[in-house]
Chain A
Amino acid sequence: MMQKVQKSTWIYLLFSLVLVVIPFVKDERWFLFLLIQIFIFGIFAMSYDLLLGFTGIVSFGHAMFFGIGAYSVGITLERLEPTFFSFLLGIFFAAMAGGIVALIAGVLTLRLKSHYYAMLTLALASLFLVLAEKWRSLTMGNDGFTFKIPELPEGLQDHRNTVIYMFCLLSMILIFFGLRRLTQSPLGKILQAIRENEQRVESLGFRIMPYKVIISVISGVVASFAGVLYAISLRFVDTSVFAIDVTLDALLMTIIGGVGTLVGPIIGAGLIEFAHHYLSELSDVHWIFERWIILFGIVYILAVIFFPFGIVGTIQRSFAKRKQRKQEVTKSKKIAG
């Protein structure tokens, strides 16, 4: 029997279609690159939302997974021939390494309170940063290194940016629908219950720890994949992929877009990447814009004031309230009539 497709699925598919058409309408390099960054950070922020929004786990070192992904694919393609096989091998290494580190961090700390996980991930991310800086023979330290990506078939070679754009977009769409399915599954509901009241879930007969570790691993693998795409889009990796800013960006994208909504972090990624781009460009107009980070801070504060549950979260709540009010009016009319 065919399952009923949710109304929102059609809306998301429509938006996806619009995004597919964009490169054929506006194929300027900088614009496609900006959208590619949005897709990549959208994936990364979704992986963060899985932890924070759906399970209530705070991570201060999520960049670690991003960096692991970027270095895994970068080193593989640089050390081996830049073929599709090496690329797939790089993705495999990224997923394995990200998953294993997430598993270790999860097993060590997730039985304790959430802030231990936050602190351990922060410490591990710093450790990876130092490792990337010091292991120069492999990573070239702070200078980073460039690498070649696989050659595309004849005919597509001139449209390399469009191909990367489509690959990142497709990845984002598939990951979004996959994660949405996960969060709507019984496992996803247990995770949300854990976020709301851990003790209560435990006294219903569930051992919390395996659920938290599972989601930590899934999140780590997805974040590593975002790192893979980031490295591929730049054809360059340096230690900045492990920086705390990367984690903070994911946190803010999730908070501004809407915690626990999945689509919110993608919107958050879009807003922040566009703001990054346009606010820094305004420095030509006035010197104050050189300090665009201050303006960025103001944007964050305003977003939190006017959208306390993030953009998507606030809109969803207002729709739910309106629906409830409508139902109450209908009910009271029935009683009166």
Chain B
Amino acid sequence: MESTLLKLEQVNTHIDQFHILQNVDFEVKSGEVTVLLGRNGAGKTTTLRTIMGLNGATSGSIVFKGENITKLPPYEIAKKGIGYVPEDQGIFYDLTVEENFRVGMRKDDDGTKERMEWVLELFPDLKKFWRKPGGQLSGGQKQMLSIARAYVNDNDLLLIDEPSKGLAPVIVEKVIESIDKMKERTTVVLVEQNFYMASKLGDAFFILDDGITVHHGRMEQLIRDEELKRKYLGIA
């Protein structure tokens, strides 16, 4: 049976005067892809940002690999082994693809080199545009660079926020394929509006609605549950 890698208990997050996450409970098992679903403004991105320490939790606890990381700053959380791929991809436009990788690398050991080689085989386009500034890549290439950069570090968990956003269907297929390969090597939390992608990749799911966890379970249950999909995801 898989062990729990990440656990959020009764987490509350405020942004200015707004109470965004309200007693959120969320759990991620090792080796799985856990999908966070919900309508726009449900608090999915805030959940990832709270895990990363970018929006501090006002109460509750976030435990990663048995250690409480709730009050740690983002750089400490990253060092614990959590990689974050934000919604806007967060690549550095003035730096080349190579420099984007180098800036993102915390170590330069054999493990990192092996992961780098593996990820460049997964995304050969990145190798092709090695010396091109990040700002000149296409939307799909930027997304690949963002995911690949997070993977290169020795992370136990990847938080990926809406990787399909704004991408052409054919590129979405490519991203699905690559995350599918990646999940054999690392645990993933995926925030996704695209149910097709979520259902293809997800092992488990959590649904957020207005900052509250309203449902969770195994992905195959959700695929079958038309009522749940209609109610919280607006899928007819």
Chain A residues proximal to chain B, CB less than 8 Å: 186, 189-190, 192-193, 196-197, 199-208, 260, 320, 324
Residues of A contacting B86 in the complex (Cβ-Cβ under 8 angstroms): 200, 203
- CB-nearest residue of chain A to B78: A205
- Compute the total of residue contacts between A and B using a CB distance below 8 Å: 59
B54 interface residue (CB < 8 Å to A): yes
A33 CB to closest chain B CB, in angstroms? Answer: 37
Find the residue from A193, A200, A202, A205 having the highest chain B CB count within 10 A: A205
A189 touches B75 (CB 8 A): no
The CA of A192 and the CA of B102, in the complex, are separated in Å by 13
B92 touches A204 (CB 8 A): no
- CB-nearest residue of chain B to A207: B75
A205 touches B153 (CB 8 A): yes
Which of A196, A202, A203, A206 meets B94, CB within 8 Å? Answer: A196
Which of A197, A202, A260 meets B74, CB within 8 Å? Answer: A202
Which of B74, B77, B92, B106 meets A199, CB within 8 Å? Answer: B74
A203 touches B74 (CB 8 A): yes
Contacts A/B (CB < 8 Å), 23 sampled = A186-B102, A186-B103, A189-B99, A189-B103, A192-B94, A196-B92, A196-B93, A196-B94, A196-B95, A197-B92, A200-B92, A202-B73, A203-B77, A203-B84, A204-B75, A204-B78, A204-B103, A204-B106, A205-B78, A205-B106, A206-B75, A207-B75, A260-B94
Residues of A contacting B153 in the complex (Cβ-Cβ under 8 angstroms): 204-205
Q: How many of chain B's residues have a CB under 8 angstroms from any CB in A?
A: 25
Which of A192, A202, A203, A206 meets B92, CB within 8 Å? Answer: A192
B136 interface residue (CB < 8 Å to A): yes
Residues of B contacting A193 in the complex (Cβ-Cβ under 8 angstroms): 92, 95, 103
B90 interface residue (CB < 8 Å to A): yes
B113 interface residue (CB < 8 Å to A): no
A331 CB to closest chain B CB, in angstroms? Answer: 11
B86 CB to closest chain A CB, in angstroms? Answer: 7
| CB contact under 8 A between A197 and B136, given known A202-B75, A205-B106 | no
B95 touches A203 (CB 8 A): no
Residues of A contacting B90 in the complex (Cβ-Cβ under 8 angstroms): 197, 200, 203
Residues of A contacting B99 in the complex (Cβ-Cβ under 8 angstroms): 189
